[in-house]
Structure 1
Amino acid sequence: MNAPTLSSSSGNGSVIQLGGFNTYVSGCSASLFAIVLVSDIFGYEAPNLRNLADKVAAKGYYVVVPDFLYGDPYNPENTEKPLPDKGFEDAKQVVAALKDKGVSAIGAVGFCWGGKVVTDLAKSDDIQAAALLHPAFVKVDDIKDVKEPVAILAAENDSISPPELIKQFEEILSSKPEVDSFVKIFPSDEHGWTLRYNVEDKEAVRSAEKAHRDMLHWLTKYVM
């Protein structure tokens, strides 16, 4: 899939400083319920991501999309890809800033690169629920340490997190009755399908929206 065209003006929200990061925010800042969306390697300016943030915000959440790539998202012309090594510590700063604002419950959603960041958050007590959409860099040992409710939405045609690995995650989570979980593999879809789709392709949009609905259902179960 190709990277979406980036535009700093995409979306209905605005860009502010939050927790030390440029952050796209959407929804009512007075809401007690917040959702942190952690982007894939193409960054927080991606139009499809910002449109999704607006859609989640319409459900009553304060939605924040921080720039954990420091203004330097992946460029396909450069083979070097960013790693999510600092993502967890960065995300903790944003979560702390939300709590300082009076937010009482926080959910986090990670896409691809962001999946590792959100998995690490789910190993802490910083959030109330997590959702991983076509995650990358997530290992079996990470899932073993998850403490918060987690949903994993994956693609059948995904060489980064193949179905075999996702099924291992599911088995581990099934053995942890204290952690609620939901795992779903979407047939025929490819890695990145929930964000990096062509808005002119009706079938691609429908498929992405199915995952978005599952994600929202999971979030409202724990963060509202």
Structure 2
Amino acid sequence: MQIPTPDGQADALAVHPDNGERHPGVLLYMDAFGVRPVLEEMARKLAGHGYYVLVPNVFYRQGPAPVVDLPEHITQEARPAVFAQVMPLIQAHTAERALRDAGAYLGFLTEQPEVAAGPVAVVGYCMGANVAVRTAAAHPDKVAALAGFHPSPLMNDAPDSPHLLFPEITAKVHLGIAESDMTPEVVGALDKALEAAGVEHTCEIYPGTVHGFTMTDTDAFDAAGLERHWERLLPLLESALGTT
């Protein structure tokens, strides 16, 4: 599937129930390792709960997925070599590019005949959580639920830090944070920033987890963390969007 964007064509994966009905839309942003079988599995699970799930290759400017060659399982030892390949792609995916793409992705998603009318959800993993925040803030009328798991830093001193966008968000929010990613103080500051912005939200550290804990094809995977992720994500989507 190809999504027209201001900068070209983004290849994407789309999964939905094949029952001839219309379903709430979910825009799922990939982690830094890109669109691959594990993300297709997650999209299919979401679709099984009654959603149309769109997973764009946000690195499409550098080529179709898979943009880099990945091992079948990303071990701790392999991570430095893999990150050496993906870091230039991450750095090239600027906030400006992400925002241009977000409008195209949301427009494409909501125009699909299998997608129900009304707002959608945005879900992101790792760097995708950062992009999800920017998407929800830029399109508050279109995004009713936002979930980010093991997010890349959302609060920093940069003038375009994602947390500065919280006042623009009207979606219900859940942030599922790896225990090794942020200190309780940073998580507390995120929580306070969301509260001050009036965002209905939950911010939670998932015990015993490291960055990437939802991804079954890496050594970072944590089964309990993934299960907790589903236990938080599915009720969020149901409360914000409902199922058909």
TM-score scaled by structure 2? 0.74
Counterpart among 182, 186, 190 of residue 169 in structure 1: 190
1:60 is the counterpart of 2:50: yes
- Residue of structure 2 equivalent to 1:132: 148
Match of 1:41 in 2: 32
2:17 to 28, 43, 59: 28
Tell me what 1:213 maps to: 231
> Structure 2 vs 1, CA of residues 18 and 193 (structure 1 numbering), >3 Å: closer, same or farther?
same
Partner of 1:183: 203
User: What is the alpha-carbon distance in structure 2 between the residues aligned to residue 88 and residue 176 of structure 1?
Assistant: 21
TM-superposed deviation, 1:137: 4.2
Q: Shift of residue 115 of structure 1?
A: 1.1
1:76 aligns with 2:83: yes
Question: Whose radius of gyration is greater, 1 or 2?
Answer: 2
Residue 89 of structure 1 is matched in structure 2 by 100
Task: Tell me how large the CA RMSD over aligned residues is.
Answer: 2.4
Q: Secondary structure at the match of 1:37?
A: strand
1:135/1:99 CA distance change after superposition, 3 Å: same
How far apart in 2 are the matches of 1:48 and 1:142? 30
Mapped to 2, the partners of 1:81 and 1:129 lie a distance apart of 27
Alpha carbons 1:39, 1:110 under 8 Å: kept: yes
What is the alpha-carbon distance in structure 2 between the residues aligned to residue 164 and residue 191 of structure 1? 18
Over 6 Å off, 4+ runs: none
- Kindly tell me: are residues 25 and 128 of structure 1, through their superposed partners in 2, closer, same or farther at Cα, counting changes over 3 Å? same
Q: Partner residue of 2:174?
A: 151
- TM-score by length of structure 1 reads 0.80
Identify the match of residue 122 of structure 1 among 125, 130, 136.
136
Where does the alignment leave 5 or more consecutive residues of structure 2 unmatched? 71-81, 156-162
Structure 2 counterpart of 1:59, one-letter code: H
Question: What is the rounded CA distance, in whole Å, between the counterparts of 1:82 and 1:27 in structure 2?
Answer: 28
- Structure 1 gap segments, 5+ residues each: 1-15
Cα deviations by residue, 1:8-63 (Å, 9 ceiling, x for unpaired): xxxxxxxx223432111111375231111100110012x22211111000011011
Match of 1:18 in 2: 3
Which residue is equivalent to 1:100?
Answer: 111
Shift of 1:183: 1.4
Shift of 1:162: 4.1
Identity percentage over the alignment?
23
| In structure 1, C-alpha distance between the alignment counterparts of 2:184 and 2:10, rounded to whole Å | 34
Name the aligned partner's letter for residue 40 of structure 1: D
